Structure 1
Amino acid sequence: MKDRFKLRLKLRLSAGCIISFLSLIPWVSANSLEEQRTTFQAARLALQENQVEAARLFMAELRGYPLAAWLEAQLLTADFEQSSDTALVSFMSNHPHSVMSDSLAARLAARLAGRGQWAALLTLIPENPEQLTTQCYRAEALIHTGSVKQGLEQAQALWQTTKKDLPNDCSSLLWQLKNHKQLASSDYWRRIQDLMGNKRVNAARQLAVYLTEEDQQFFDLWLTVRSAPTKKLPELFSQPDSAQVRAIIVDTIKQIADDKLQTALPLWAQAQTSFKFTKAEQGEVESRLGMWEAWRHDEAGLQRLKQITVTDRSPEGNAWLARLAMRSQDWPALLEAASALDTVEGSDDEWDTWRYWQARALEQLKKTKEAHALYAGLAKNSTYYGFLAADRIQQDYARLTDPPPDRTQRIQGLQKLAVYQRWQEWNALGERGQARKEWFRLLQAMDKEGVLAAAELALREGDANLAIWTVSRVKDWNSVDLRFPLLYEQIVMDQARSQGIRPEWILGIMRRESAFDAKAESSAKALGLMQLMPGTARDISRQMGMQVLAKEDILQPDLNVKLGSTYLRDMLKRFSGNYAQATAAYNAGPGRIPKWAPPQNLAADQWVESIPFEETRKYVRAVMAYTTVYDHKLNQDQHLRLSMRLQPIPAK
């Protein structure tokens, strides 16, 4: 009662009144943790009301409080014009690798750049800053202080590799590239082609100012065609043949194909009568057209993609050639496409995928030794394709019985860090978003073993979801102890018995859907552990003679698992006990599954990899792998092999 009264009083005071109030009320000093929390919230509200001096007075009461540093950063930001460079640098030095310092570093870099204090910028701003804006300022500072080559190299790296649009504050750095003749109009044009192909039109507009006048006219023409592609594209066919016009046509045909394949096909045929496209340009368009035909499981896509030379076929074209070839049992075509994809830069998951399919093709082509070598490499991992590879060569599953390493020393070191204490306090205040910002920024400064220790610490603190996401940062898929906690076991076992389905499957679905976050709410409004859409949850509840109306009801773990398990049972029954199809139905909806049925009976691994939707394809692979892990946790030596769970897919 006293704390609530005190908070109300504090928040009603003007800055002047607070001074006299604090001098008269002795109990306002924040000694206990609860009093500190009350004072901290008062300081935050004072800042929101622009009462900086009042916030400073509250902060004086917060010595030793975990979030005092966060409040100090907010004060420096609120009074930035009056904050000295020394004060800002002192704060950043005391709190390295933190969200707070990242923000202040960006503002300080902008201030120093605005003054032309480039040498000071290099001295005061840490190397390898987190924010793009700060990286741009550091690169420009190198150029201005004589390290021209190093600065230009950093500038080019930012320009070429960033996956985000560069902030406006980076524009002067881009001018440095042009002024030092590092980039010609043709370089900008190639970059614009890439951006337009990825539908990043605004980023392309930013670069267009660096083009020659002639190329700017071509870019304006591109924007005109982009505004109404189907209508405007034929108007281009009367233009003289040039690399720029062909680039616009190639991009536009691909964009049209993404929405209306049948419209794109005759337009492409017409374009080829008017322009002499290079083999690379032809391969780019034919790959996109063939991809969409293959996506529809149309055999025409197989033939189109096979006609493109492997060097001119795009990675997406190779991927869809491989998928349609495996579905059609065309093992030579599968081997060619999968081998090409093995050399393309990608994630570990993508490499494992295509190495497995190389092995499957080699096995079918009687090249057993080469296939076995690939399987053996894959079988070292506790992943979907690792388990399938182990099944092919009849090996035990790797890493499922490994004892977890002793991370005690690293964990104790983490617990001493101020950022860990801030994370704890944000969680205590119910501000999970702030807590996670602190946590994930810390991980960026840690080695792999440190990140795994952080994951175990999160698990010990009862945040399994955070532990799972933490491991994902270093992609250590073999840390089974951290990635697959056994939670909600009694609820799951009860529902498995009630619905007549396997508990490990429920856990596998839950692990994929929410990573055990009972409060999870997706952008599509799916809720809870099993990510139920409200409409689906209400339909199931009505079928069970229950009434579920409120979001809060659906989020309850016991009810969420009950409804989700009932839906899983229905899907398994609908698809005759086929786990791969039932899992796909849980993700994509049951109506789509018959459309993906093969013309003849098909091995489940071939069917799963040829699912048109990338999300569903990855979802089924993940759930089947997770189910295998949880089967081992629940049943030890009695667990099923993954290949035994993946029954063949019946023909249409």
Structure 2
Amino acid sequence: MVRSAVLALVMLASVCSFPALAADTPFQEALHAARNDDWEGLSRAQARLGDDHPLQAYLDFHRLRAALPDLNPDRVADYARRYPDSPLPNDIRQLALVAYARDNRWDAARAVYDEPPRSLELNCLYWRAQWQAGNEQALSRARELWLSGNSRPSACDAIFNAARDRGVIGQAEIWQRMELAFYERGPGLMRYLRPMLDDQPYGTAADWLLDLYGDPEQLTGIPKSLPDDQRQVLLAAGFRRLAYTDTVKAREWFEDDLGDLGFTDAALIERSGQRIAWYSTIRGIEDNRDWLDDWLRDHGGDSLVDQRARRAVIEQEWDELPDWIALLPEAERKDSRWLYWAGRAAEENGDEQRARSLWQQAAAQRNFYGFLAADRIGEPYRFSNAVPTGDQTLPELPALARIQLLREQDEPGLAWSEWNWLMWHSNETRQRQLAQYALDAGWYDLTVQASIQARAWDVLAWRFPAAHQQRFQEAGRRHRLDPWLAMAIARRESAFYPNARSPVGALGLMQLMPGTAAKVAREAGQGVPAERQVLDPATNIELGTRYLGDLLDRFNGNRLLALAAYNAGPGRIAQWLAEEDEAVPVDVWIESIPFRETRDYVQAVLTYRVLFEGLHGNPESRTAMLLLPAESGTPYSLAMIED
């Protein structure tokens, strides 16, 4: 059980594995000792703290953690009763379940959870414990967990094996999972599953499924001797893969050869056509254009029509764009994005009055295209800023005292967990009270999190607090850049959570990759910073703004190119700029950025920058702040970076 179970144990034990800066206070000494199983040191520090310290739950947590797997599960329940308003009881339950399972203490494992936990790995362990007690429902739940195109933790293997032994997971379920893995682009999982299938009735079809993943053009050779339901699945899989590898050929065969291939399943044919249409659209394949447009008019699909309208923008097909926008759902048509582009089409088609009307509608919205539309008609931006209302007085909550202490003890991760637990267990009124409390306390990352939980989209004081403003201003002066832009990056990257870590390893407020942080530090004549230093807000802001300044220098001060590079890497920018004779306007270039994440990122950061300056800088200047004249007036092409 396993490596993945061990990984879960390590992750859940974050309260015992994160290194402290220094043992400067009795609690820091105690926590450092507890994390390192130094019980004598803990006893000495505990004597100085007393037994009623507000953070006592953390020290008791480690005593329980260290006693696993021999710990009596009653002590886990007692711990939950003693600390009912804390996230820690759930943490110790998770650790206990993993530890008991590894030690085959299934009675104890069943005792720590009354219902299945959310984590996939813990869910498998929970149902394995139930199966050990003869609960037949465990096998049907195992079947549900099995049917996925993605790999499952090895902690699930035992309950899967039990379900296979009892026939709850049989040949049909293994074949179904192979099909799901194909659609999730999981050839490794497909190869893992293949030996589980007998030659009949699914083995031959499974071999063909693997072959089609490697060479989808083999779909013309699928044996007609296979059962028809398997052939239909294989033909659909082959067309899906061929749409990715050779979209033109996929369209030609789909258009001309369905009858000869014996592809008759209407639902699978529809799905295959939509996939060919998707790649035809996002790749802008001219050879498929007539077929694509006919397909979309007959079959629709909101996401496909959206992409087709976007393709019309990229190719500046201003005559055709209104027709594609008209096929979008009403809610999409009324969104500022498509109101803006409908206005651009009207302008290009000579209808200035309609363009202005559409831009006025778009300008009522607080977002990138709303602000862009406002600039088109020379109107101020609509912030639609709601003032917090209601009783802001909170009762005394022990969790708030713990959060305060944890932040003072330089434990942002633990404070974050406490805050999230408190938010999840509060109603909307309490969440709003907590948002204002956090803002007053200067807990800017927690303020933003509270605004999200409370869905307080119009309370901009909570969503865009002036976090670390002085640091950003000082760093901006040092590196000759706009501090509001750097602050907007931090808001987008981490929502001001200083301990943020991305799945790929980016760290801190401005989400710096360790290699980037090291490179910037070396170029500044400094030593390579340790991870803990990169997480420090002052260091992170210094290195992040220096890196941003380098990108702005590299791209001649163009913030759009620099932001796209910050998100996707500098090397991609040249790929996204056309030859000089194909230069495009700034708005078209933004819409043409291939990565949706980067498109959204550039728009969000520029929008956040406007909000920060409008809220905390010059509130009178709320127009023409989105793009600089040089950015909006320059055609976008490779000529911008050739120097």
Same fold (TM over 0.5): yes
Q: Distance in 2 between the 1:314 and 1:43 partners?
A: 57
Per-residue CA deviations over 1:261-288 (Å, capped at 9, x if unaligned) read 6897889799856452655545544544
Matches within 5 A, 1:435-450: 435-450=415-430
Shift of residue 622, structure 1, vs aligned partner = 0.7
Distance 1:533 1:144, change over 3 A: closer
Q: Distance in 2 between the 1:354 and 1:161 partners?
A: 37
Equivalent residue letter for 2:179: Q
Identical-pair percentage: 22
Q: 1:244 aligns with which of 219, 225, 230?
A: 230
Task: Look up the match of 1:650.
Answer: 635
Task: Look up the match of 1:483.
Answer: 463
Q: 2:88 aligns with which of 100, 110, 113?
A: 100
Q: Distance in 2 between the 1:547 and 1:430 partners?
A: 28
- Worse overlay, 421-430 or 87-96: 421-430
Matches within 5 A, 1:351-390: 355-360=335-340, 364=345, 382-388=366-372
Q: 2:591 aligns with which of 609, 612, 635?
A: 609
Which secondary structure state, in structure 1, belongs to the residue aligned with residue 37 of structure 2? Answer: helix
Please tell me whether residue 328 in structure 1 is matched to residue 312 in structure 2: no
Task: Look up the match of 1:69.
Answer: 57
Which secondary structure state, in structure 2, belongs to the residue aligned with residue 408 of structure 1? Answer: coil
Q: 1:229 aligns with which of 206, 214, 220?
A: 214
Shift of residue 619, structure 1, vs aligned partner = 1.0
Q: Are 2:392 and 2:436, in contact at CA under 8 Å, matched by a contact in 1?
A: no
Q: Are 2:435 and 2:451, in contact at CA under 8 Å, matched by a contact in 1?
A: yes
Equivalent residue letter for 1:446: S
Task: Look up the match of 2:36.
Answer: 45
Q: Are 1:335 and 1:357, in contact at CA under 8 Å, matched by a contact in 2?
A: no
Q: Distance in 2 between the 1:263 and 1:235 partners?
A: 12
Matches within 5 A, 1:356-505: 356-360=336-340, 364=345, 382-388=366-372, 397-399=381-383, 401-405=385-389, 408-410=392-394, 412-413=395-396, 415-417=397-399, 420-473=400-453, 476-490=456-470, 492-493=472-473, 502-505=482-485
Shift of residue 611, structure 1, vs aligned partner = 1.2
Q: Which segments of 5 or more consecutive residues in structure 2 lack a partner in the other structure?
A: 1-22, 638-643
Distance 1:649 1:158, change over 3 A: farther
Q: Distance in 2 between the 1:534 and 1:133 partners?
A: 30
Which secondary structure state, in structure 2, belongs to the residue aligned with residue 636 of structure 1? Answer: coil
* TM-score of the aligned structures, taking structure 1 as reference length: 0.68
Distance 1:297 1:399, change over 3 A: same
Shift of residue 452, structure 1, vs aligned partner = 4.6
Q: Distance in 2 between the 1:336 and 1:212 partners?
A: 53
Q: Distance in 1 between the 2:41 and 2:576 partners?
A: 65
Root-mean-square deviation (Å): 5.7
Please tell me whether residue 618 in structure 1 is matched to residue 600 in structure 2: yes
Distance 1:74 1:548, change over 3 A: closer
Per-residue CA deviations over 1:449-486 (Å, capped at 9, x if unaligned) read 44454455444554434443454456544332122222
Q: 1:308 aligns with which of 260, 278, 295?
A: 295
Equivalent residue letter for 2:600: K
Matches within 5 A, 1:179-190: none
Equivalent residue letter for 2:88: M
Q: Distance in 2 between the 1:501 and 1:511 partners?
A: 17
Q: Are 1:571 and 1:590, in contact at CA under 8 Å, matched by a contact in 2?
A: no
- Worse overlay, 265-274 or 478-487: 265-274
Distance 1:147 1:615, change over 3 A: same
Distance 1:159 1:476, change over 3 A: farther
Per-residue CA deviations over 1:572-607 (Å, capped at 9, x if unaligned) read 6365xxx43453344345564454447766554443
Per-residue CA deviations over 1:44-95 (Å, capped at 9, x if unaligned) read 4337xxx8x9989987985223443234344444445554444332323443
Q: Are 2:471 and 2:541, in contact at CA under 8 Å, matched by a contact in 1?
A: yes
Shift of residue 562, structure 1, vs aligned partner = 5.6
Equivalent residue letter for 1:229: G
Matches within 5 A, 1:477-556: 477-490=457-470, 492-493=472-473, 502-516=482-496, 547-548=525-526, 550-551=528-529, 556=539
Q: Distance in 2 between the 1:318 and 1:250 partners?
A: 22
Q: Distance in 1 between the 2:508 and 2:97 partners?
A: 43
Distance 1:331 1:135, change over 3 A: farther
Work out the number of aligned pairs and report it: 594
Task: Look up the match of 2:3.
Answer: none
Equivalent residue letter for 2:223: Q
Task: Look up the match of 1:8.
Answer: none
- Worse overlay, 460-469 or 257-266: 257-266
Q: Distance in 2 between the 1:140 and 1:535 partners?
A: 42
Q: Distance in 2 between the 1:178 and 1:561 partners?
A: 55
Q: Distance in 2 between the 1:117 and 1:489 partners?
A: 54
